[in-house]
Amino acid sequence: MRLAHAGLIVADLERAAAFYEGVLGLARAPRPDLGFPGIFYQLEDGGQIHLMQLPDSCAGHPRPEHGGRDRHLALTVADIEAIRRRLRAAGVAFTASRSGRAAIFCRDPDGNALEFVEA
């Protein structure tokens, strides 16, 4: 089994795109017209991240400070230090994995938790 895609709800598509493209360096993939705004991003392993500009049924609910204690999307990276530098340069807060692994957690502009795990 492989992950085909992960769908994340965002409130402002262009603000989210600035994060996923400008900070993380992801490239857009073709997206069919689904009847609502969104962006697909292609990952190296064949999977995708789907941003969906839709109402968020979880808006207003408290989220744990550490993304590892929340639902999250984990992405494998070759160089965790490069991700740390990109996040710092963009002013994006992150926390280290509490397990001691070479992994960090951050949140996108909409509060979606992302984990970056060094391969």
How much is the pLDDT for 59?
82
Are 41 and 27 in contact, with CB atoms under 8 Å apart?
Answer: yes
How much is the pLDDT for 17?
98
pLDDT tens digits, 16-50: 999 999 999 999 999 999 999 999 999 998 999 99
How much is the pLDDT for 74?
95
Burial of 66 (0-12, 13-18, 19+ CB in 10 A): middle
- The residue with tokens 């994995």 is 97
C-alpha to C-alpha distance for 109 and 11, rounded to whole angstroms: 9
- The residue with tokens 């160089």 is 79
Is the pLDDT reported for residue 100 higher than 90?
A: no
What is the number of helices (H) and of strands (E) in the chain? 2, 8
Structural domains present in the chain: 5-118 (3.10.180.10)
How much is the pLDDT for 54?
96
